[in-house]
Chain A
Amino acid sequence: MVIDSNLAGPQPPIEVLVRAVKDFLLEIALPELQGVAAFQARMAARQLEIVERTLLLSADNEHRELAGLQELLHSEEELGRLRKKLAAMIRSGAMSIDTPGLLEHLKSTTIAALAIDNPAWLDRSNG
Chain B
Amino acid sequence: MTILEQHTERMQALFRKIWGPDAVARNLLLLTGGASKRTYSADVVRCGKVLPIILQLFQARGEESGEHDVVPRLTPEQDASIQTLMKSAGVAVPNVLYILKPDDGIGLGYITERISGESSGRRIIRDDRYSGTHATLARDCARTLAAIHTFDTEPNCDFLPYTPAGDLIARFKHQVDQAGLVCPALEWALEWLDQHIPSPVRTSVCHGDFRLGNFIIGREGLRAVIDWELANLGDPAQDIGWLSVRSWRFGGARCCGGFVSLEEFIEAYVEAGGPPISLPDVMYWQAFGNVRWALHCLRRGVRYLDRGRAVSLEDTGIGRRFFEPIHDFINLVEKHGYRQ
- Residues from chain A with a CB closer than 8 A to the CB of B322 are 117
**Interface 0/1 of A86-127, CB less than 8 Å to B:** 110011010001100011001101110110011001101111
Quick check: B195 and A97 within 8 Å, CB to CB? Answer: yes
- From A44, A83, A90, A121, B188 is in contact (CB under 8 Å) with A90
Inter-chain CA distance A107–B333, complex, in Å, is 11
Report the minimum CB–CB distance from A77 to chain B (whole Å): 14
- Residues from chain B with a CB closer than 8 A to the CB of A50 are 320
**Interface 0/1 of B122-136, CB less than 8 Å to A:** 000000000000000
Quick check: B320 and A47 within 8 Å, CB to CB? Answer: yes
**Which one of B46-54, B138-146, B323-331 contacts A?**
B323-331
| Contact A87 B183, CB 8 Å, known A127-B246, A127-B332 | yes
Inter-chain CA distance A75–B188, complex, in Å, is 20
Q: Give A96's nearest chain B residue, CB to CB.
A: B191
Interface assignment of A84: CB less than 8 Å from any CB of chain B: yes
Quick check: B184 and A87 within 8 Å, CB to CB? Answer: yes
Q: Give A46's nearest chain B residue, CB to CB.
A: B317
- From B313, B324, B334, A43 is in contact (CB under 8 Å) with B313
Inter-chain CA distance A111–B185, complex, in Å, is 11
| Contact A110 B330, CB 8 Å, known A86-B184, A97-B192, A126-B253 | yes
| Contact A103 B188, CB 8 Å, known A43-B317, A98-B339, A118-B320 | yes
Interface assignment of B271: CB less than 8 Å from any CB of chain A: no
- Residues from chain B with a CB closer than 8 A to the CB of A111 are 327
Quick check: B321 and A87 within 8 Å, CB to CB? Answer: no
| Contact A83 B192, CB 8 Å, known A118-B320, A126-B246 | no
Q: Give A125's nearest chain B residue, CB to CB.
A: B331
Quick check: B191 and A90 within 8 Å, CB to CB? Answer: yes
Q: Give A41's nearest chain B residue, CB to CB.
A: B313
Interface assignment of B316: CB less than 8 Å from any CB of chain A: yes
Quick check: A47 and B317 within 8 Å, CB to CB? Answer: yes
- Residues from chain A with a CB closer than 8 A to the CB of B187 are 86-87, 90-91
Report the minimum CB–CB distance from B315 to chain A (whole Å): 11
Quick check: B316 and A47 within 8 Å, CB to CB? Answer: yes
| Contact A110 B185, CB 8 Å, known A43-B317, A127-B328 | yes
Report the minimum CB–CB distance from B166 to chain A (whole Å): 15
Residues 15-54 of A contacting B (Cβ, < 8 Å): 40, 43-44, 46-47, 50
Inter-chain CA distance A50–B316, complex, in Å, is 11
| Contact A83 B182, CB 8 Å, known A43-B317, A127-B331 | yes
| Contact A44 B313, CB 8 Å, known A83-B182, A106-B185, A106-B330 | yes
- From B195, B313, B321, A117 is in contact (CB under 8 Å) with B321
Quick check: B330 and A114 within 8 Å, CB to CB? Answer: no
Interface assignment of B45: CB less than 8 Å from any CB of chain A: no
- Residues from chain B with a CB closer than 8 A to the CB of A110 are 185, 323, 326-327, 330
Interface assignment of B199: CB less than 8 Å from any CB of chain A: no
Quick check: A118 and B184 within 8 Å, CB to CB? Answer: no
Inter-chain CA distance A121–B246, complex, in Å, is 10
Inter-chain CA distance A114–B324, complex, in Å, is 7
- Residues from chain A with a CB closer than 8 A to the CB of B249 are 126
Quick check: A121 and B182 within 8 Å, CB to CB? Answer: no
Quick check: A121 and B195 within 8 Å, CB to CB? Answer: no
Quick check: A121 and B324 within 8 Å, CB to CB? Answer: yes
Inter-chain CA distance A70–B300, complex, in Å, is 32
- Residues from chain A with a CB closer than 8 A to the CB of B335 are 127
Inter-chain CA distance A121–B326, complex, in Å, is 11
Quick check: B340 and A98 within 8 Å, CB to CB? Answer: yes
Q: Give B320's nearest chain A residue, CB to CB.
A: A117
Inter-chain CA distance A102–B189, complex, in Å, is 12
Interface assignment of B114: CB less than 8 Å from any CB of chain A: no
- Residues from chain B with a CB closer than 8 A to the CB of A98 are 339-340
9 closest cross-chain pairs (CB), A and B: A127-B331, A90-B187, A127-B328, A106-B185, A86-B184, A113-B323, A87-B184, A117-B320, A87-B187
Q: List 19 A-B contacts (CB under 8 A).
A: A40-B313, A40-B314, A83-B182, A90-B184, A90-B191, A91-B190, A97-B191, A97-B195, A106-B330, A107-B327, A107-B330, A107-B334, A110-B330, A117-B321, A117-B322, A118-B323, A121-B324, A126-B255, A127-B327
